[in-house]
Structure 1
Amino acid sequence: YVGTNLVQWIWGGFSVDNATLTRFFTFHFILPFVIVAATAIHLLFLHETGSSNPTGLDSNLDKVQFHTYFSYKDILGFAILLTLISLISTFFPNLLGDPDNFTPANPLSTPPHIKPEWYFLFAYAILRSIPNKLGGVLALLFSILILV
């Protein structure tokens, strides 16, 4: 089967090791730059040729130039957001942190109240509600695919 060979190829060996961590860190670091580049290329092509018009009518009369108006608007919004995030992270670094991060770690005992972050709670609830592992994974997969 392909599964074991694929896992060994992704891991870089027979178990999770330094090679695995290096690969995932590299992927985690490079992926945002790839997404930004793809978005920039998409915007370049979109504003060079224009988007498709399903009605077939010429809509050049209603267009606003992208560069002067929308570019400055996007730069201003990005600057405001960056300033806000910088101020929060500089003056209130522990504002959005989990209080459990400040308790000393004990490697001999696992805390009983471990739960995932809020953005994974839907998946955690689905996986915990079905006792069968395969059924839980299938339910999670179908809950995501139903949105498509």
Structure 2
Amino acid sequence: MLFSGLRLHASFLLAIAAADLVHILLRRTPLGYEIKAAGSNMRALDVQGTNTRRLILVVLLVSGALAGLAGITEVYGVHYRLKAGVIAGYGYSGIIVAILGQLHPLGVVVASVLFGALLNGATLMQIKTGVPSALIYAIQAILLLFFLAGWAACNFRLRRVGRA
């Protein structure tokens, strides 16, 4: 534990270090360039001569290693044993966190801290007030919708084409 009275443990520092390494990988290496290009247009990479099968395999291995690291830190840092259903739903939350972080490793750290606080607050709220736990998923969905609506409003301009 990093601070007494909080559930924040050393895995938080490990997660920040992993986000920094991913940031360096994506910004400063040829592999990172290929990964970002694959997200934009896989066919163009094929035409360029990049081995896309190898690239997909590398991305799967790196993301699997990061997911395994997250699972290990959840088990050894929070619960101290493997329990069924502990990490159920983390994949969907991860997608929302990645979107809120705008697919940038440092933005994902900020969004994940927000969602971690939201989930921990939801547990306390459920214990104290008896509010159903499904409310937290609704709040997550509302956050995502407002973020996407704001993003669309900033990036697209609506205009009237003609008068009828």
TM class, shorter-chain normalised? under 0.3
Please give the TM-score of this superposition, normalised by the length of structure 1: 0.26
Larger radius of gyration: 1
- Between the two structures, name the one with larger relative contact order (CA 8 Å, sep ≥ 6): 2
Q: Identify the structure with the greater helix proportion.
A: 2
Please give the TM-score of this superposition, normalised by the length of structure 2: 0.24
